[in-house]
Amino acid sequence: MERVHFIGIGGTGLSAIARVLAEQGVSVSGSDRALSPLAQELIASGIPVALGHAAENVTGADLVIRSSAIPDDNPEVLAARARGIPVLKRADFLPRLLKDKRVLAVAGTHGKTTTAAMLAWVLTALGYDPSFIVGSVVHNLGKNAHAGKSDWFVIEADEYDRMFLGINPWVAVVTYMEHDHPDCFPTFEAYREAFEQFVGQIRQGGALLVCGDRPETFELAFSAPEQVQAYSYALHTPAHYRIADASPNAQGGFSGTILFRGSVLARLDLQIPGEHNLANALAAFATTHFLGMNPEEAAKALHDFSGSDRRFQVLGEEKGILVINDYAHHPTEIRSTLAAARARYPRRRIWAVWQPHTYSRTRALFNEFCRAFSDADRVIVTEVYAAREAQEDFSASQVVSQMLHSGAIFLPTLDKVTEYLFQELQPGDVLMVLSAGDADRVCAEVLHHYQNGSAFVSGEKTHD
C-alpha cells in the first residue's frame, strides 16, 4: 500500500485506522462531509482531509476504504471503481491490518469502548506498547489509535455492519449482549448469530471472556472453538472472575476485591463512576491475567485510568452547574449512566437530555426507553437524530407521551433545549447530555452561557 484514501475519515472507526496506518508510514488521505474533532486532529498530525466528497479526492490512491455510512453512489466510490481502485469497508480491510498481530478484541452491545480503552491503557502502562483502535479518545493516552512496537493489538470489535467478522482474535471479550442495531439485525436471533460467528473465529490456544451477569452473553461460551479456553466474569453471579465487597469509594468510583476461582488476586479501586465500569475493569483485568501479566500492576493501572471522551466525560462546572457528556443511546446504557450519576451525586438534581439515535432503534426499544430514566429528576427528550436513516413519520414525542416520569418533556430542537435549560437550571444541578449524535453541542452552549452570561450559538454539526 503506497497511499490509502478514506471516505468518511472523521468517524471513530476510520479515523483510528487512518492514524494507525499513518504511524506505520503509509501515505494517508481522507474526506468527509464535515470536519469532526477527530478529523481535525488528523489534519493537525499532517494527514490531508478534504471537506466534502469529490471524484478528484481519490486521485493517486492505491486503495480506498469507506465508512459503512457511505453509499455506493458516492462520487469517490464511483470514481475509484471506474479507475480500478479497490474499495473496501472496515471488515474487509481489518485482516490486512491485523495480520501477524496478537489481537485482543473487545465486543459487546455495551461497555466495549471503555473496556478496550482500559485494556490499551493497562498494556501501555505495563510497558508493552500495544497497537490499539478504540471508539473514543482515551484520556490517559491522548488519542483513539496508535501503532505500537509490540505484536499486541487491542481493538474495539464493533458489531455494526458485522465489522467484527473481519477479526480473528487471540483473546475475545464479550462484555454484554442484548439486541441493538435493528437496522442491521432485525431480530435478536440475527444479532446473536453474528456474535456466535465472531466467537467462532478465535484462534486456537486463545481465550474467550464473557460476562456471566447476562445469560445470553454467558451462553456464547458454548460457541467457542475447541482448544479455546472460555472464562466468565461477573459482579452478581458465580463466575471464574468475581468482584467481592463492591462498594462506592471516596473518589466517586467503585472498589472491590478481585477473585479468580475464589482466590484473591488484587484490590481494585476505580476513579471513574458507575458499577458497570467495575465490570468493564474486571474484563480488562481478566484479559491481562490470562496473558500472564502482574495482577497488582494491572490493578494499579486501572486505578489510574481516567476515562475516554463522551463516556461520563465531565466537561466543567459553571455557576454551580456541572455538565457531563455521555454517548449513552441504548436503554441499558442510559440506565447505567444515570445510576452512576445518582451514586456519585446523591444530593444533586440530575437533568438528563436525551437525543434518540436512529428511528429503527427508537421504535424497536420503545418500551425500554420509556422506563430508562428513573434516576433522573428532570428529563428532556429531543427529536430523533436520524444518522444514516431516512426521515420517517415518527416523533420522539411519542416516547415521552408513554413515559411515567413526571419530569419528562419533549423539546424537538437543540436550540429549544438550550433555551429551556438557560431558564431552568439552578446551582447544584447536574446536566447529563446523552447522545450518539450532535446533542453534545448543548454541553458547550450551556457552559459558554454560564461563563459569559449570554447564549452561545454554535455552528451546525453533522456526523456519519
Q: Specify the amino acid at residue 373.
A: F
358 annotated to bind ligand: no
Percent of the chain predicted with pLDDT > 70: 97
How far does the chain reach from its first CA to its final CA, in angstroms? 26
Q: How far apart are CA 11 and CA 68, in angstroms?
A: 10
Q: What is the pLDDT of residue 463?
A: 31
- On whether the pTM is more than 0.85, the answer is yes
Q: Which three cell numbers stand for residue 197?
A: 460467528
Are 179 and 191 in contact by the 8 Å Cβ rule? The answer is yes
pLDDT digits (tens, 9 = 90+) for 230-275: 999 999 999 999 999 999 999 889 999 999 999 999 999 999 999 9
DSSP state of 161: G
Q: How far apart are CA 52 and CA 112, in angstroms?
A: 31
Average pLDDT of 148-169?
Answer: 94
pLDDT digits (tens, 9 = 90+) for 331-348: 999 999 999 999 999 999
Task: Decide if 418 is catalytic.
Answer: no
Q: What is the pLDDT of residue 462?
A: 31
287 annotated to bind ligand: no
Q: How far apart are CA 382 and CA 92, in angstroms?
A: 36
- Cα-based angle 344, 348, 350 (whole degrees, multiple of 5): 85
Task: Decide if 124 is catalytic.
Answer: no
274 annotated to bind ligand: no
Percent of the chain predicted with pLDDT > 90: 90
| β pairing state of 63-66 and 102-107 | unpaired
111 annotated to bind ligand: yes
437 annotated to bind ligand: no
Residues 6 or more apart whose CB falls under 8 angstroms from that of 320 comprise 426, 427, 428, 429
pLDDT digits (tens, 9 = 90+) for 194-229: 999 999 999 999 999 999 999 999 999 999 999 999
Task: Decide if 115 is catalytic.
Answer: no
Any idea which fold 313-452 has?
A: Protein-Tyrosine Phosphatase; Chain A (3.90.190)
Task: Please report, for the chain, the start and end positions of each structural domain, with discontinuous segments joined by +.
Answer: 3-88, 94-304, 313-452
CATH architecture for the domain at 3-88: 3-Layer(aba) Sandwich (3.40)
**How many angstroms separate the most distant Cα atoms in the chain?**
64
113 annotated to bind ligand: yes
Sign of the dihedral defined by the CA atoms of residues 143, 148, 150, 153, in that order: positive
112 annotated to bind ligand: yes
Q: Specify the amino acid at residue 257.
A: T
Q: How far apart are CA 231 and CA 289, in angstroms?
A: 11
Q: Which of 12, 76, 101, 112 is catalytic?
A: 112
Q: What is the CATH number of domain 94-304?
A: 3.40.1190.10
Q: Which three cell numbers stand for residue 209?
A: 471472556
Q: Which of 89, 124, 156, 275 is catalytic?
A: 156
Q: Which of 76, 89, 113, 445 is catalytic?
A: 113
Torsion, CA 137, CA 300, CA 213, CA 201, rounded to 10: 60
Q: What is the pLDDT of residue 225?
A: 93
Q: What is the pLDDT of residue 1?
A: 65
